[in-house]
Structure 1
Amino acid sequence: MLAAHLRRTAPGGEDRHSRPTVMVLAFEGWNDAGGAASTAVRTVAQAFGAELVEKLTDEEYYDFQFSRPKIGRTPAGREIIWPSTSILRASPASGEFDLLFVHGVEPSFRWRAYTAELLTKAAEHQVAAVVLVGALLADVPHTRPIPASFSSEDAEIQELLDIDEPTYEGPVGIVGVLAHTAFQAGIPSLSLWAAVPHYVGQAPSPKAQLALMRKLEELLGVPLDPEQAEEISEDAAAWERGVDDLAEEDAEIADYVKRLEEATDTTNLPEASGDAIAEEFERYLRRRKPPEN
């Protein structure tokens, strides 16, 4: 369905012989809670055999005291690995799309120039749509399915995929800037976000990673590698058991997780209402200890 829409709206229309190209992007940094988004995109790219096309290496994009270079051993010997953005291409035989995967470190400077450079690369590769992948910290329990959902500013994409327009207002990362700028440039754009439990927001977060990968699988119509998916599922189960063990050692955390579970379950019930959710939130506020000075 999405492929047919993109073929129809892309330059050349229905008679285009090539498959539409979709660019999938994720960045380490503020929009990558638990490292879930960047890990998900890198893992999917690797599974599809994506090959490096080029890199964005302009050092004026980065503050090296914040995004520090790393030293590592390569086949050629030890070398400095500088922060950069990689662009990789894959053509899954069973899918309806060619895929460009973009991952790197969120830039520190010159966001407008960085965004313009990436969208120029998208035009050079005749990208028909972009998918921005992110993960944020949220009040969700680790014991329930990780919420992951799409949104889009494009009215046609909203109707086609039955998704909502984004409603968030406030500070944004490079993911939000790229999504909005692509839409303004006339490139259909979607945002995919997973909610990571804030009390275990450090990397890795395999349960959120798997939720994002499943959503990409659903959108792109390309099945994940079964062995790889099974391995990540096992990691997610082990991660959940580990958090369970930590919660059992702290009565306050255990009680907090229980309240999150009750709120989540209430919200997911058909009879859930705004009043019920507000009531649960008020109970949570009453039970909270006042912050220490």
Structure 2
Amino acid sequence: MNSFEGDTADTGAGPERERFLQPVAGGQRVTVMLAAFEGWNDAGEAASDSLRYLNKLWGGKKVASIDADEYYDFQFTRPTVRRNAAGERKIKWPSTRIYKASAPNSNVDVIFVQGTEPSYKWRAYTAELLVHAEALNVDYVVLVGALLADVPHSRPIPVSTSSDDAPLRERMNLEASQYEGPVGIVGVLSEVALLAGLPTVSLWAAVPHYVAQAPSPKAQLALLHRIEELLQVPLDTHELAEEADAWERGVDELATEDPEIAAYVRQLEEAKDTADLPEATGESIAREFERYLKRRGQDRP
């Protein structure tokens, strides 16, 4: 994937947005489905890795899965063999796994959908996912993707937020996607969820195309920060932030060894810095300060 399916959508600047999750009566819980798929929609595996990080952080428990035989070409997405703790060989089949977790100190439950983009029957596949969403009382859907883009590794990773839900766009001051062209399973699921009446947004992180290999911790971190804002739940990302810093230093070192790459990175940096100058408002600073205060309050005894 090398172009936004929501390339004109919000990237964090602009008018203040209302919250994604609407207030509910005291004691009621809200359920959000977070979905990411390995493959075409997952540059640097940033999208799938970000949900794996969050699922592990919150101790998600597997509640369902989708049978792989119906949807995968095993010559393209091959099963793998691994050894368990006892040294026994075990085949691991491609699949879509569904986990449930509760965000700490909040009324938000999260359904994680993690798997590989299917090979066949996308309409049946997304319909089956929506059956699980209904059974798990999902109220909102957040689809997470990553794409390759002409962005410098040394600047904040852009995350685009888009939605085809007109009332949601108006409430959150988002723009409609202007993208036309091939789509992955993320785009198909977005339409299906919207037709089912579920408020849906899509997040896309832009991964520097010259360091496309996995992992991409800086893009993961950018996606998690956006998810943190949508769910209004503080996340402990200190470990991942350290990995992102180490990743950036490693790319810096590689760039210094290749004059052409170094010159190209400087060109991207200059273009990015010039484009960002008019956007130097206080909103992003205020948003970061609010995140800091929430984490600080969470750390207090």
**Match in the other structure for 2:31:** 21
* Structure 1 residue matching 2:249: 3-state secondary structure: helix
Partners of 2:22 and 2:257 lie apart in 1 by 53
1:176 aligns with 2:187: yes
* Structure 1: 4+ residue segments shifted above 4 A: none
Partners of 2:260 and 2:198 lie apart in 1 by 47
Alpha-carbon distance, 1:17 to partner: 5.4
Rg larger for: 1
1:256 aligns with 2:267: no
Cα 1:271–1:42 change in 2 (3 A) is: closer
* Structure 2 residue matching 1:127: 3-state secondary structure: coil
**Match in the other structure for 2:277:** 269
Paired residues of 1:3 and 1:96 also in contact (CA < 8 A): no
* Structure 1 residue matching 2:22: 3-state secondary structure: helix
Paired residues of 2:43 and 2:146 also in contact (CA < 8 A): yes
**Match in the other structure for 1:196:** 207
Unaligned runs of 5+ in 2: 1-18, 281-301
Within a 5 Å distance, the mapping from 1:1-293 to structure 2 comes to 1-4=19-22, 7=24, 18-75=28-85, 77-225=88-236, 229-270=237-278
Alpha-carbon distance, 1:271 to partner: 8.4
Partners of 1:45 and 1:35 lie apart in 2 by 15
Unaligned runs of 5+ in 1: 8-13, 273-293
**Match in the other structure for 1:282:** none
Alpha-carbon distance, 1:177 to partner: 0.7
Paired residues of 2:154 and 2:269 also in contact (CA < 8 A): yes
* Structure 2 residue matching 1:270: 3-state secondary structure: helix
Cα 1:247–1:21 change in 2 (3 A) is: same
Alpha-carbon distance, 1:250 to partner: 1.1
Q: TM-score, normalised by structure 2?
A: 0.83
Q: How many residues align?
A: 261
Alpha-carbon distance, 1:65 to partner: 1.4
Partners of 1:170 and 1:188 lie apart in 2 by 23
Partners of 1:160 and 1:259 lie apart in 2 by 37
CA offsets 1:16-43 (integer angstroms, 9 cap, x no match):
9531211000010000000100000111
CA offsets 1:60-105 (integer angstroms, 9 cap, x no match):
2111111111111234632100000010001223123211000011
The one-letter code sitting in structure 2 at the alignment partner of 1:66 is F
Paired residues of 1:23 and 1:130 also in contact (CA < 8 A): yes
* Structure 1 residue matching 2:235: 3-state secondary structure: coil
Partners of 2:68 and 2:215 lie apart in 1 by 28
Alpha-carbon distance, 1:211 to partner: 0.4
Paired residues of 2:100 and 2:110 also in contact (CA < 8 A): yes
Paired residues of 2:68 and 2:93 also in contact (CA < 8 A): no
Partners of 2:275 and 2:20 lie apart in 1 by 30
Cα 1:195–1:271 change in 2 (3 A) is: closer
Alpha-carbon distance, 1:244 to partner: 1.0
Paired residues of 1:3 and 1:97 also in contact (CA < 8 A): no
Partners of 2:107 and 2:167 lie apart in 1 by 19
CA offsets 1:131-167 (integer angstroms, 9 cap, x no match):
0000000000001000012111112221222222222
Paired residues of 1:129 and 1:188 also in contact (CA < 8 A): yes
Q: TM-score, normalised by structure 1?
A: 0.85
Deviating more after overlay: 156-165 vs 237-246: 156-165
